[in-house]
């Protein structure tokens, strides 16, 4: 014969108390939901006021003829047609894609290599701080410093090339062949620390047991890097790639400060085109249409990367 535990009557709850318990549980769930909305309310207000409303306004203005001050006139998709036929828009698009090709793969590979190296040494915090400092420096200040470094007459880079290798350095910022690689080099240097920290966090999340098993099987350091580190870093690589491409399509500060889009529009980017169209030509409708096109391009590239990520991104579980 089974005995009931002490302090327990063993009786099922009466039918009269079941609705009471359901009501209490529903009230508790409703209260939790209200508190949740209360805490996200400030963020939702900021999201609506500073993201959603400007985004909707941009789509509306892109269909208007407007000089920024006078009356708006609805013209439909004419601004978009005008931009697709604009030679300056084509130049800006080609330059932006060229800059992306130069800066994104280089930045990702260097950041990964630096992270792998730092993960094997002591004093990670100090090195991480040193590498990350350019990432928090104002881009305009960095651009001004690099204008001096890239100066063809008295810049440090050309001076060292002449003294160490006997090479006469090129006109980095005044030659259309070198201006975009120079800006890409600056961007890689600035973004190296941030990407390195992300890769370092990904490396520290990889279980040591994989490397121990590989060592037992006789795998060397290079084989471990290729077959363990890089595949298990693929989620971090995926995130860094998306953020790097989004940032590269929005490059503006460097070309604006260092070259003003020159020489011969060799550093004329999409965001620079948006700026010029709005605040130099005062055709805000065309400028906003360019911004909408840029938004659609970035969104399409991001969705495509997310679709393709299923083929090469590997998660540990």
The answer to whether residue 226 is domain-embedded is yes
**Mind listing the pLDDT tens digit for each residue in 126-150?**
888 888 888 888 889 999 999 999 9
Q: How far is CA 307 from the centre of its chain?
A: 18
Which token pair is 315?
């998660």
**Domain housing 146:** 86-310
The answer to whether residue 54 is domain-embedded is no
Q: Are 128 and 120 in contact (CB under 8 A)?
A: no
Instruction: Give the pLDDT confidence score for residue 7 in this predicted structure.
Output: 46
Residue count of the chain, please give it: 317
The answer to whether residue 53 is domain-embedded is no
Counted domains in the chain: 1
Q: Residue 170 and residue 157: Cα distance in Å, rounded?
A: 10
Domain containing residue 241: CATH number: 1.10.3720.10
**Mind listing the pLDDT tens digit for each residue in 76-93?**
999 999 999 999 999 999
The answer to whether residue 68 is domain-embedded is no
Stronger pLDDT, 307 or 317, i.e. the higher one: 307
Cβ atoms within 10 Å, residue 46: 10
Predicted TM-score (pTM) of the model is 0.85
The answer to whether residue 158 is domain-embedded is yes
The answer to whether residue 284 is domain-embedded is yes
Instruction: Give the pLDDT confidence score for residue 2 in this predicted structure.
Output: 47
The answer to whether residue 161 is domain-embedded is yes
**Mind listing the pLDDT tens digit for each residue in 154-212?**
899 999 999 999 988 899 999 999 999 999 999 999 999 999 999 999 998 888 899 99
The answer to whether residue 58 is domain-embedded is no
The answer to whether residue 4 scores a pLDDT higher than 60 is no
Instruction: Give the pLDDT confidence score for residue 260 in this predicted structure.
Output: 92
The answer to whether residue 1 scores a pLDDT higher than 50 is no
The answer to whether residue 8 scores a pLDDT higher than 50 is no
pLDDT-above-90 percentage for the chain: 64
The answer to whether residue 47 scores a pLDDT higher than 80 is yes
């Amino acid at each position: 014969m089974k005995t009931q535990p002490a302090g327990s009557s063993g009786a099922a709850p009466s039918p009269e108390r079941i609705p009471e318990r359901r009501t209490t549980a529903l009230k508790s769930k409703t209260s939790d939901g209200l508190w949740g909305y209360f805490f996200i309310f400030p963020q939702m207000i900021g999201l609506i006021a500073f993201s959603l409303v400007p985004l909707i306004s941009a789509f509306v203005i892109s269909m208007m003829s407007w000089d920024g001050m006078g009356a708006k006139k609805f013209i439909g998709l004419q601004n978009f047609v005008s931009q697709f036929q604009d030679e300056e828009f084509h130049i800006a698009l080609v330059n932006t894609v060229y800059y992306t090709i130069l800066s994104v793969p280089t930045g990702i590979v260097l950041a990964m290599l630096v992270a792998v190296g730092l993960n094997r040494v002591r004093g990670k915090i100090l090195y991480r701080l040193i590498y990350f400092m350019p990432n928090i420096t104002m881009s305009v200040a960095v651009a001004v410093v690099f204008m001096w470094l890239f100066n063809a007459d008295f810049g440090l880079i050309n001076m060292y090339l002449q003294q160490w290798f006997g090479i006469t350095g090129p006109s980095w910022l005044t030659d259309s062949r070198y201006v975009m690689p120079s800006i890409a080099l600056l961007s890689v240097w600035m973004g190296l620390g941030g990407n390195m920290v992300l890769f370092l966090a990904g490396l520290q999340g990889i279980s040591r047991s994989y490397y121990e098993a590989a060592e037992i099987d006789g795998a060397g350091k290079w084989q471990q890097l290729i077959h363990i580190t890089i595949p298990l870093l693929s989620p971090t690589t995926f995130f860094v790639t998306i953020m790097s491409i989004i940032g590269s399509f929005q490059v503006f500060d460097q070309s604006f400060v260092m070259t003003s889009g020159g020489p011969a529009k060799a550093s004329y980017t999409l965001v620079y085109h948006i700026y010029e169209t709005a605040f130099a030509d005062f055709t805000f409708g065309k400028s906003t249409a360019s911004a909408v096109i840029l938004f659609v391009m970035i969104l399409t590239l991001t969705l495509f990367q997310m679709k393709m990520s299923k083929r090469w991104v590997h998660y540990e579980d």
